[in-house]
Amino acid sequence: MGDNLPTLEFPAAIVDLQDPLPNFRKALGGRGPVRIVAMGSSSTAGLGNVVAYPARLELYLRKHYKDDDPHRDIRIDVLNRGKGGEEAPQEVARFNDDIFADNPSLVLWQVGTNAVFRSNEFDFDEVLAKIAEGLARLRDHPATDVILINPQFVTAMLGDNAKLSEKMVSAIRAAAQEAKVNLFQRWALMRHWNEHNNASLEQLLAPDDELKLHQSDWSTMQVARALRSAILTATGATQRCPCLITT
């Protein structure tokens, strides 16, 4: 990764969530820890040369609630429940052990990438059905807020996969609207960086990733910062957190 990294924009129309996060906000008023569970595949689990977004998000939120908006006795724990190669059918099967057992106030569910990238292994309609089932199960837990995260805008999801990627992004948006849960628009945000901020696909990709699927450490950091901003804004932070960073 070179030193000449572009300055990125974080448009509110893309980054901001559609609804507040009342359960997460309520948990901040108690005595910690406040638990967030991050469910997903390799974008969540992380790679050896990339700091996974849940770890960065935990760091950013802990700093905010310690220094910028102090909450006594509050510690934010972001529990990483990502497993590389999985899709909604495998993830929903893990909900009891890897989400509900920890009683989180917020669940982040990154989904949809493998159904496109490995479309020969996953049935598209089955994946969508499992996304709907998973969202219904999450909604049955009234003390838990939900943020659905759609796929990453990277080389492997474009080209021959572009049409299916757009279909998945649209289907995930519809699923979030139907379930009345928040959607974090990772696809649109990364596309904005590529098309409007001159962030090349190579800069968005992890170095030496032959699959051309996984985000670089830099772009993962930017997504984590955008997600932090979305969470803070949805919980009533008085100022949008600063997200512009080039290193």
Quick one: pLDDT band at residue 26, thresholds 50, 70, 90? very high
Concatenated DSSP letters for 135-173? Answer: HHHHHT-TT-EEEEE-----GGGSGGGHHHHHHHHHHHH
pLDDT above 70 covers what percent of the chain? 95
Tell me the pTM: 0.94
More confident site: 2 or 71: 71
Residue 238 has pLDDT above 60, yes or no: no
- What's the pLDDT at 223? 98
Distance CA 136, CA 105 (A): 16
What is the rounded distance in angstroms from the CA atom of residue 227 to the CA atom of residue 25? 16
**pLDDT single digits (tens) 81-97:** 999 999 999 999 999 99
Q: Note the pLDDT of residue 69.
A: 86
Which domains are assigned to the chain?
Answer: 12-234 (3.40.50.1110)
